[in-house]
Amino acid sequence: MKLKKGLAVALTATMAFSTLTGCSNNGSNNETTTNGTTPSETTSVAESTSATETTGNAVVADNGIEPCTIEFWHAMSNKQEEELTALTDKFNAENEYGITVNLTNQGAYKDLSSKLTANAAADTLPDLAQAYNNWLSAYSDKLVHLDDFVANDFDNWDDIVAGYRDENSQFGFISGVPFNKSTYVLFYNKTMFDELGLSAPLTWDELLEVAKVIKDEKGIEAIGWDDLAGMFQAMLVQNGCGYIDETGALFDNEKGLETVEYIMNLYNNGYARLVGEDKYFSNVISNQLIASYVGSSTGASYITADGWELGVAPLVSNTEMAANAAGTNIVMFSQDTNKQKAAWEYLKFLTSAESTTEWAMATGYLPVRTSAYESETYQTFMATDPTSVAAYSQSAYFISQPAFEGSYDVMTAISNTLEEQILNEADAQTTLDALVKAVNDILQK
C-alpha cells in the first residue's frame, strides 16, 4: 500500500517535471505560457462555440449572448460583500441571457493583488477582478480594451465622474470601470472646533490659522495625513504644480518649493504630526488627541466619536482644487468574445445609476455617476451622511495615483523621504532636493 502510494507520487512528480522542462525548452525568451497556448478546459469549450474574435480589442456585435458563467474576484468583506452579493444575485436572476456571475473573495487587497500576479503568470486570470491600476502595470497587456464597448454599448460614459474616467484611461485605453470608490476627506472634531470658534478650513491659509489656534489653546496638533504620498500629490496640484510622470519629478520648481515650504511649516511648528506608533489617525482622533486628519472616506466607520461630534469637510485648496480618489476599478481579462460580452452586461449593470446608488448607500463608498449623486434617493441619504456631502463637493476635482512602470517605487520613496525629512525637521529646500533626488534616482536610471 505504502509503496503503491509512493510510486504514484513519484510518477506524478516525474510527469510534472517533464512537462515543466519541456516548456522551458520551448524558448527561454518566452518561458511562461502565452495567450491561448494552454487554454483551460472551460475556455476551450467556450471558444469553439463562438470563435469569431479572440483577444485584444473586442468588437461588439448585435447578436445575443450564450449562457455562461463569469468569474469575478474581489476583496470585499462583511457588509460590502453582502451588498455585492445582493446586487450580483439580482443580476443573475434578472439578466435575459442566462449569464451567471460567480463571486469569489480573494482575501484583502494585498492578497488579491498577489493572487492576480500569480494567475497572470500562469495565464489563468479570472474574467473580472477588482484592481488598482498600480497592480496591473506588469500585465496590462492582458487587459481587455473596453473602448468599443464604451463607445457602442454604454449609457453615457460622460455621466461617470470625470476623475474616474481619467483613471480608467491611464494605460492609453479604457481598462476598466470604477466600482468601490472613495476619496480623502478631512475628518475633524466639530465639538472642539465649535468651542474654539473655528470652522472647517477651506484654504491653505485658513488651515494654518486654525492650526495656530488649536496648538495654542489645546496644545495638540491640528492635522495629520494617513497617506503622505497622497497628501504631497494633492497639495502640489492644489498649488498648480505637477507631480510625477515617467520622466521624473515635475515639482522641481518654484511652485514645488512653495508647496514643500507650506508642508514643512506645518510639521516643524507642531501644527501637524505623523501617525507613527498609533498606526491609524482614526484611533488618534477617536481619543481626541488630534483635532483633524485627512484619510479615506470609508474610514468614517472606524472613528468612535464618544462625547464629541465628528465633522467632515472637503480637502483644503490653494490656487486650485484637488482631492485624492481611492478605491478599485473592475477590469476584464476574459479572452473569449462571448464571455467578454457577458461580463460587459454585468459591468453595465453594476455601474448603472440605480446599482451604484444602492451600492454607495449600503457600503459608504461613493456613487460613480454624477446622475447618481444628483438622484433624489442619494440626496436624501446625503442629508444624514456628512461624509458623502464632503465627497460630493469635491467630486469634480478628483485626482488619482499615477500608474506606470516604477510608479509604485516612486510613491513609496516619496512617502519614506517625506517622513524622514519631517523627523529630521528639515528645511524646505533640503526636503525638496531629497524628494526630487528620490524620484529621479528611480525613474532616470
Interface positions, 269-308, toward other proteins (CB under 8 A): 274, 276-280, 282-284, 286-287, 289, 295-296, 298-299, 301-302, 304, 306
Quote the CA–CA distance of 290 and 277 in Å, as a whole number. 14
CA distance 437 to 431: 10
Among 66, 206, 409, 427, binds other proteins (CB under 8 A): 409
SS3 329: strand
Report 87-116 residues binding other proteins (CB under 8 A): 104-109, 111, 113-115
Is residue 8 within the footprint of other proteins (CB under 8 A)?
no
Report if residue 147 touches other proteins, rule: CB under 8 A: no
Comparison of 238 and 297: residue with beta carbon closer to other proteins? 297
417: its cell numbers = 523621504
Nearer Cβ to other proteins (123/258): 123
Closer of 24 and 199 to other proteins (Cβ): 24
Query: Is 23 or 208 the residue whose CB approaches other proteins more closely?
Result: 23
Q: Residues binding other proteins: what is the number (CB under 8 A)?
A: 76
Counting contacts by CB under 8 A, is residue 29 touching other proteins? Answer: yes
Nearer to other proteins, 188 or 204 (CB): 188
3-state SS string for 101-155: EEEEECCCHHHHHHHHHHHHHHCCCCCEEEECHHHHHHHHHHCCCCHHHHHHCCC
Residue 223 has phi, psi (to 5 degrees) of -150, 155
> Which H/E stretch holds residue 356?
helix 353-363
**Between residue 174 and residue 213, which ones bind other proteins under the rule CB under 8 A?**
182
Q: Does 37 bind other proteins (CB under 8 A)?
A: no
Owner of C-alpha cell 476551450: 44
State the Cα–Cα distance between residues 132 and 136, nearest whole angstrom: 7
Report the DSSP pairing between strands 128-131 and 68-74: parallel
Could you tell me if 163 and 395 are in contact, meaning their C-beta atoms sit under 8 angstroms apart?
yes
> What is the smallest separation between the CB atom of 22 and other proteins, expressed in angstroms?
10
Please report how close the Cβ of residue 255 comes to other proteins at its closest, in angstroms: 25
| Contact positions with other proteins (CB under 8 A) in 304-363 | 304, 306, 326
Cell 528639515 belongs to 426
Contacts of 19 by beta carbon, 8 Å cutoff, 6+ apart: none
**8 A C-beta contact, residue 312 and residue 389:** yes
With respect to other proteins, which residue has the nearer C-beta, 180 or 317? 180
Residue 304 or 380 having the CB closest to other proteins: 304
Q: Is 326:231 a contact under the CB 8 Å cutoff?
A: no
What is the smallest separation between the CB atom of 60 and other proteins, expressed in angstroms? 27
Q: Does 30 bind other proteins (CB under 8 A)?
A: yes
Please, which of residues 231-260 interact with other proteins by CB under 8 A? none
Q: Which stretch binds other proteins (CB under 8 A): 44-52, 55-63, 244-252, 403-411?
A: 403-411
Give first-to-last CA distance, the chain, whole Å: 60
Identify whether the C-beta of residue 145 lies closer than 8 Å to the C-beta of residue 380: no
Does the footprint of other proteins cover residue 416 (CB under 8 A)? Answer: yes
Amino acid at 78: N
Minimum distance of other proteins from residue 303's CB (angstroms): 9
Site string for other proteins, 39-78 (x = CB under 8 A): --------------------------------x-x---xx
Nearer to other proteins, 30 or 52 (CB): 30
Binding to other proteins (CB under 8 A): which residues in 420-439? Answer: 420, 423
Furthest-apart CA atoms within the chain: distance in Å: 83
Based on the number of CB atoms within 10 Å of its own CB, is 256 exposed (0-12), middle (13-18) or buried (19 or more)? buried
Using the minimum distance from each CB to other proteins, give the nearer residue, 73 or 164. 73
Q: Which residues, numbered 124-143, are part of the site for other proteins (CB under 8 A)?
A: 124, 126, 137-139, 141-142
> To the nearest 10°, the Cα dihedral for 133, 136, 140, 142?
-120
